[in-house]
Amino acid sequence: MATKRINCWEHKKCGREPGGKNTTELGVCPAATDSSFSGINSGEYAGRFCWAMAGTFCGGEVQGTFAEKRDSCLSCDFFMRVQAEEGTVNLRTKFLRFVSLDAKNTLLNHMSYQHFKKGVRFIIQGEVGDAAYIIQRGSCIVIVEKAGSLHPVGHRGEGDIVGVMSILTGEPRSAHVEAETDMEVWCLKKSQFDDISQKDPDFLDFLTELVADRFDSRRPTADRSIGKYIATDIIGRGGYSIVYKGMHSGRNMPVAIKMMRHDLVMNSDFLSSFRNEAKIIAGLNHENIIKVFDVEERFRTIFIIMEYLAGESLEDMLLRLKSLPLALAADFLFQLCCGLDHAHRKGIVHRDINTMNIFVQHDDRLKIIDFGLACPIGTNDYHPGGVLPYLAPELIDGEAANEQSDIYALGITAYEMVTGKRPYPEDSASLLMKMHCTQDIPDPGERVSNLPDALRSFILKACRRDPAARYRNVPQAMEELRPLARTFASGLPNPETAKENRATLLLSYEDQHREVLNRLLEEFTLKVNELGASLKTYDTSNEE
């Protein structure tokens, strides 16, 4: 029977686990709460990676940082136990899946066999690497150096491969790697890696998935140079992408950098969709739609460089507030209509309007984001798009997306804004689809007693099952909302951002100056925010 793999607090009996006897005096151990280390050494949280965590309790004392305690930790009986237990676990990420480490293996006969002494740093962050290392015996620790500090982010043992990111992507090394114990390794040169990859697609798929998984780390990441941009920290994750906060190195301008996951680049459909997203957003120029500045193709993937947004998703805002003040909901809906109308006029439907893809900036200006499923109006690629709770009935039935399917998703979003809930129960996907197709949404006025008639009417009409009973287009919907938006925008600001003094600025301009003026307004808004004030713009260019 396999030995149960226990966490440090179970071995040391320190009493600092959640609910432990010493938590009142000393608090809960960081190793028991930091979920960014989950999975390392087959552990839950950092309970088997405790030597890398600052503030753990050991030997009767609260320990310091990784750098301060590492020598004593390496001789700890619990550390030694973990090393002994970890040799054959996590085979999903082990190179042993593809290579048997014995002298008869023809692949290994072409590799060099090397020894590293305990404490040797054999991979240096920032250097260009031409080799990866397969561990036959011993273990090592992966350390990111950031802002002058060392951050342990991973651990590799027998059967693991280290340094593979660099030879797969061509980037400089993303971390230091140091031998925790004496190590015996096989050295895989880039030329050998390229040769194996051509002959064995499964091998390449495995290593590409491994690299994608390691890029998705929730621990500190090294800064990365991507053309003229520097990617610093991961700020978002999606099914096919990772989003970094970054900086334009020449202009000192903050940006967001959306990277396609390496394992999906080899899928032509995903690759086409990612390129299409960049092309679509680049063709849209509106204050309520996220902007694309650049596209970089390198390191075996694609990066979309977008404007950096400070704030939170509408989903997170609703989790925090439960529902929105009606004034704010009406203002948000009008902004979303403005953005959608611009996209529709350009012949594009979003297909994925929901609270996750609406970003609320600190001044309550909205941006529609994530155009990964967007397509020309009327496209029928047999992909319904979207998230099921927001999906229009006709899309569930396999019809093509158009303006009215976006309007339906907007109506569900509006219902959620004012009631704090979505209209249908979601315990069963099949039942949810059936309800979308057979029942109109419940009256939001039954949940919100003071819901204005215009807002109630907008939600109900936007969500009609029959597209012919909905608004024909976004401008028609805006006519229903415009009186509310005018009233609320001037008289009922969001109470969280309300200011005592207000000033009105009326800006008249020609259409060819829109882009330049938008940039100037963005710079002005940043300066206004630095003063602790807020600026709200209201675009009347679509009004009759």
Q: Is 352 a catalytic residue?
A: yes
> Please, how many CA atoms are within 13 Å of residue 30, restricted to the half-sphere of its CB?
17
CA-nearest of 347, 285, 316 to 518 is 285
Q: How far apart are CA 101 and CA 96, in angstroms?
A: 7
Cα pseudo-dihedral 81, 87, 88, 94, rounded to 10: 140
Q: How many CB atoms lie within 10 A of CB 529?
A: 15
Which residue in this structure is represented by tokens 């909302």? 481
Q: How far apart are CA 476 and CA 32, in angstroms?
A: 55
Residue type, 42: S
- Using only C-alpha atoms, what is the Rg of the chain? 27
In the set 34, 263, 331, 352, the catalytic residue is: 352
Q: How far apart are CA 204 and CA 359, in angstroms?
A: 37
Q: Which helix (H) or strand (E) holds 186?
A: strand 183-189
CA-nearest of 150, 198, 197, 199 to 178 is 150
CA-nearest of 363, 326, 281 to 538 is 363
Residues 6+ away with beta carbon under 8 Å from 419? 323, 444, 447, 448
Q: How far apart are CA 434 and CA 436, in angstroms?
A: 5
Active-site positions read 352
